[in-house]
Amino acid sequence: MTSIYFAKCGDHIKIGIANNVKKRLSGMQTGSAAPITLLASFGGGVHDERKLHERLRAHWVQGEWFRDCPEVRAVMDDSVEAGEVVDPLGARPTKKANKFAAVARALWPTKTSAHLAAIAGVDDRTAKRWLSGEYEPPAVIIAAIIVEITKRE
């Protein structure tokens, strides 16, 4: 099964396709001095990848690389929401768990979607969707939130 993946390196996001995302990212990392981080992956084919590239043409940098901006992140989130999330280790597809919203409300009850949007660098709509449990934020966003909520005030 092929997967569409979104990988971050510096200020850019690569939208690619691979049969084995982990192996593909490992190969890319070998040729890169900067760390490459998997943001998301889901089942899809070449046609889906081309549609994403076309949709984000205004943010294109080079090859399959696009600027890391709210618009690209929103398309990534919408794509993950529409498809099945694929285990980046190459296992079979799994359904999303939607646990973030419950944990965020328990650990961070006084913060709003505006706070979350500011930390994550996304628009308020995306943050509201995360907090409502509609879908999960990428792991890098969860890590940034954990750092923020553990800071001493």
- The domain limits of the chain are 3-82, 100-149
Rounded Cα gap, residues 98 and 138, in angstroms: 12
From 139, 117, 118, 130, select the one nearest 78 (Cα to Cα): 130
Q: How confident is the model at residue 92 (pLDDT cuts 50, 70, 90)?
A: very low
pTM: 0.56
Looking at the predicted structure, is the pLDDT value of residue 93 above 70?
A: no
What is the torsional sign of CA 118, 123, 125, 126?
A: negative
Nearest by Cα to 4 from 37, 47, 61:
47
pLDDT score of 65 = 96
Q: pLDDT at position 141, please?
A: 76
Q: How far apart are CA 137 and CA 116, in angstroms?
A: 11
Average pLDDT over residues 33-53: 88
pLDDT of 98 reads 56
Question: Mean pLDDT over residues 116-132, rounded?
Answer: 79
What pLDDT is attached to residue 53? 92
